[in-house]
Amino acid sequence: MKSTMSATPLTTRLIYDHGRTVHHRSLVTTYAADGSSTTLTYAKVAERADRLAVGLQRMGVGPGDVVGTYCWNHADHLAAYFAVPCMGAVLHTANVRLFPDQVAYVVNHAEDRLLIVDQALVDQLAPIADSLERVERFLVVGGDGAALGERAMPFEEVLAEPGAVPERLELDEGTAASICYTSGTTGDPRGVAYGHRSTFVHSLAQCATNAFGISQDDTIMLMVPMFHSNAWGLPYSGWMSGADFVMPQSTLDAASVARMFAERRPTFTAGVPTLFNDLLNHADPEPVDLSSLRVAVCGGSAVTGALIDAMRERGVPMLQGWGMTETSPLCALSHPPKHSPPEEDTFWRSKSGRASSAGIELRIVDDEGAELPWDGASVGEIEVRGPWVTTSYHGIDTPEKFDDGWLRTGDVGYGDAERFVQLTDRAKDVIKSGGEWISSLDLEDGLASHPDVLEVAVIGVADERWEERPLACLVLREGAPLDPAALAEHLAPQVARWWIPERWAALAEIPKTSVGKADKRALRDRYAAGEIEIVTPTHP
């Protein structure tokens, strides 16, 4: 028997049309660096999206062409999120935090024809403009982009007259709607092309109660950059549900975010641990009021129990999310299992999470590819597959990254009987000491709970006797001394005794990757160059 139901293609246009009609009154507020703000309705953002699409079509952009953005979070960037894929072209959100040669690489590799650029980023882009081989025009938001040369033109000049309606071409749900590149921490960034169907289904999943539960009653504080895995998919799921948006552009210092929280009272936000730690440590003139939040999603790097507890003390449940550019990125979430007692709340939320929704499958395999049991002890590489998980990279052949339909994540960990996974390391960051594994993430979690520790990153360094041992790199509270013996004593009840580092270092800051993670490769390079001063305990 065949289904009698409609075979309507699942596309970003369905998301767009639903939001601009049903939720036309919902709001998008963009903040400027001086603290002023501009608020547009969905209807107005949609009008600008339509005008942009008409302008792009007049400039010769057609199905399959790539239009890049080099922008922070604001309403016109959101308009591009819909204007470009809804006309059959492909949106490429270029990461403004990549090194210049990496930006040139991704823009050329994606074959961007046009690049929408914030005026505030023009000077940053100008030195590599000549190396952007295929870019015909730079469309500059908020200025004329003179430093980019004769290819620059104001964004407003591209917009057609109000009321202009773009040509509505039929969209194939299997074609690319957008492309995002990985952060390039272990080589050239790799492009992941998100399809119309996968974007639609991913957005539905984020709106589910067992995921983020986003609805029209939410106000989303969009702290995740819109160039990072499409802001974790939130522009699409938020628009689909009719949530209000607060767009901070690049202004994410604690004082500015505190003011936005006070003025807009967001109910939902997401970000990396560093952002939340900054907010919790801000108390000038008073602590940040986070009481409007119903949940805060944290990801990008391991979330410590100390951070989860600190947010709970402010009345905010923190939900850890684990995923990758390759998983769109929703993959695993740390909602505590049903009927778990309240005293176990932090325990479960500190885990990397379990499959976020039906269709996402996780497994753990050993070095030979054999599946390991979910016994809470067997450690191997985590693999994932699902309807919004990539099965290849754009334009390059990397069979070593895929295993018979499964994505090899490069993350090492174990699974338990509740089907939670717990990452213990990235495959490239694991520490093997005397033939046994040490989890840098567990060491970081334990040290982060010390009251003097603001940030921590643990790396493996060469050791004459044990082959490799951990080095703990710490950012301490102002005025706090580096006391390895006291830190080791604090750590002792939390990990195996032989894991405790003999090498310690106090740093002014932990270097970060373009997506806000601790850059352990940079730390290893600094250590190898003798640029990190090592301190050892004065007594056992």
- Which one, of 241, 245, 244, 246, lies nearest residue 215 by Cα? 241
Catalytic site includes residue 173 = no
Exposed/middle/buried for 496, CB within 10 Å: 0-12, 13-18, 19+? exposed
Between helix 12-22 and helix 234-241 the angle, nearest 10°, is 40
Query: How far apart (Å, rounded) are the C-alpha atoms in residues 439 and 393?
Result: 29
E-strand stretches of 182-309: 191-195, 219-221, 244-247, 268-271, 295-298
Catalytic residue among 185, 437, 466, 489: 437
Q: 340 near 358, Cβ under 8 Å?
A: no
Alpha carbon separation from 249 to 40, 112, 279, 494, 519 (Å, rounded): 15, 23, 17, 40, 24
The secondary structure element, H or E, covering residue 80 is: helix 75-86
Catalytic residue among 326, 381, 383, 455: 326
For 344-362, b/e burial (b = at least 16 CB within 10 A) is eebebbbbbbbbbbeebeb
Residue 215's closest CA among 294, 318, 278, 102? Answer: 294
Number of DSSP helices (H) and strands (E) in the chain, helices first = 16, 26
* From 432, 436, 467, 533, active-site residue: 432
Q: Are 440 and 458 in contact (CB under 8 A)?
A: yes
For residue 153, the tally of other CB atoms under 10 A from its CB is: 17
CB 14 within 8 A of CB 230: no
Decide if 432 is catalytic: yes
Catalytic hit among 182, 390, 424, 513: 182
Q: Where are the beta strands (DSSP E) in 346-420?
A: 354-355, 361-365, 380-385, 402-403, 406-415
Active site residue 406: no
437 is catalytic: yes
- Output helix, strand, coil percentages for the chain, rounded to the nearest 5: 30, 25, 45
**Which residues are part of the catalytic machinery?**
182, 326, 432, 437
